[in-house]
Amino acid sequence: MVSKRAVWAVFRFSPVGLTLLLVGAAFALLTPTFLSPNNLLNVCTSASVVAIVGLGMTLAIASGNFDLSVGSTAAFAGCITMSLVPQIGVMAAIALGVLSGGLIGWVNGLIVTELRVPAFIATLGMLTIVRGAALIYTRGRDIYLFGRTEYKVLSSGMTPVLLALALAVLFSLLLGQTRFGRHILATGSNIQSARRVGVRTSYVLWGVFAIVGATAALSGLILSAQVLTGNGRLATGLELSAIAVVVLGGTPLTGGRASVPGTLLGSLLVAIINNGLNLLNVSVFYQNVTLGLLLLGALTLEALAARRAPNRATS
């Protein structure tokens, strides 16, 4: 019985962490190549692309909002950057790309706070607008970047992983140690009370949406650097994967709480499962099914855990 309690304790501490260990162990036993350094790097790279947006999305959800426009922002920033590299150099183009994402995010924030459109609809509108803008900008064609392999610096080796880790540390510190972070959580748990006690919730939301936009742009840049191709259809559906990853990590959709390490683990879990299924020669079609089952399974367990601990609020 002790072992059962121990497992339960680990599960309560980090459900996604435990699942990660179990799934990782299963794939390590089932496939010889899973634990090879190359494959692990692959897994981590694909995890970090989602993780970077996911981290931004964690902040948005902690502030009681959503951002559905991240996929479009990623595509837009990717295309802009690809076309700017030949003219102004790699570093300046990357900086401008991330900045453009931040600007789009800031506009989201403006629509939410100034025009009082609910975040869900505001970012839904921006989803179509920004995606349209990206397609107009590329005229629906691909942008290739011949011979500028230095742009690959964004996607090669450990760069994406390091970026994701750095952002995770940064956001943990931001949420735990800074006034802005506390204001984000206060806004997320109760925006009226936050406003009453003097939090400038509009500025907080501008900041949050700008950060989400910038992280989305960064993910878009990494995606475009991987194939050295910019395309207006890049990262379609990224918004829902990012939200799924955040939720898997244990950040509640109700706002006011955030789990930054959870988001990292959640994206790693999804990446590991997709990779393991690939190695087992399972059709790509099953990836969506497993993601759905995973999400529902995790939340079912969480709901059951909430029932076991009746003193915790379940809503």
Partner 1 sequence: MIDPVLPVKRANQLRTVRPVKTDQPVTHEVRPVRRAIRNLDWDLLWEKFGIATILVVVWILAAIGTPRFAIPDNLSSVLRQSAFVGVASVGMTIAIIAGTFDLSVGSAQALSAWTAVTIAPHIGVLPAFIAAVAVGGIVGLLNGALVVLVRIPAFIATLGTMFLVSGLTFILTNGQTARFNGKDFVWWGNGLMGNIPVPFILFLFCAAIGAFTLHRTSFGRYVFTIGSNVKAAHVAGVPVNRTIFLVFVVVGLFTGLGAALLGSRLYSAGPGLEPGFELNVIATVVLGGTRLAGGRGSMFGTVAAAILFATLSNVLNLNHVDAFVQRVAVGLVLLLALSVEGVRQRLVERWNRSQRPGS
Site residues (CB under 8 A) for partner 1, limited to 20-59: none
Closer CB to partner 1, 159 or 290, in the complex: 290
Shortest distance, CB of residue 237 to partner 1, whole angstroms? 7
Contacting residue, 144, 169, 236, 280, with partner 1 by CB under 8 A? 236
Closer CB to partner 1, 111 or 154, in the complex: 111
Closer CB to partner 1, 33 or 254, in the complex: 254
Mark the segment that binds partner 1 (CB under 8 A) among 141-149, 156-164, 201-209, 230-238.
Answer: 230-238
Contacting residue, 1, 5, 285, 310, with partner 1 by CB under 8 A? 285
Question: Is residue 214 close enough to count as binding partner 1 by CB under 8 A?
Answer: no
Closer CB to partner 1, 162 or 253, in the complex: 253
* Interaction pattern, residues 173-212, with partner 1; x per rule: CB under 8 A: ----------------------------------------
Quick one: which of 62, 87, 115 has its CA closest to 249? 62
Shortest distance, CB of residue 18 to partner 1, whole angstroms? 19
Question: Is residue 280 close enough to count as binding partner 1 by CB under 8 A?
Answer: no
Closer CB to partner 1, 127 or 163, in the complex: 127
Identity of the residue numbered 181: G
Shortest distance, CB of residue 76 to partner 1, whole angstroms? 12
Q: Between 159-177 and 179-189, two packed helices, what is the crossing angle to 10 degrees?
A: 80
Please report, for residues 16, 46, 212, 249, the alpha-carbon distance to residue 267 in angstroms, rounded to integers and kept in the order given.
Answer: 10, 9, 16, 8
Question: Is residue 228 close enough to count as binding partner 1 by CB under 8 A?
Answer: no
Closer CB to partner 1, 38 or 314, in the complex: 314
Shortest distance, CB of residue 266 to partner 1, whole angstroms? 12
Chain-centre distance of CA 111, in angstroms? 22
Are 77 and 216 spatial neighbours (Cβ–Cβ below 8 Å)?
Answer: yes
The count of chain residues that interact with partner 1, using the rule CB under 8 A, is 48
Contacting residue, 25, 30, 88, 120, with partner 1 by CB under 8 A? 120
Tell me the C-alpha distance between 235 and 70, whole Å: 9
Residues that bind partner 1 (CB under 8 A): 68, 111, 114-118, 120-122, 124-129, 131-133, 135-136, 140, 232, 236-237, 240, 243-244, 247, 253-254, 283, 285-293, 295-296, 299-300, 303, 306, 314
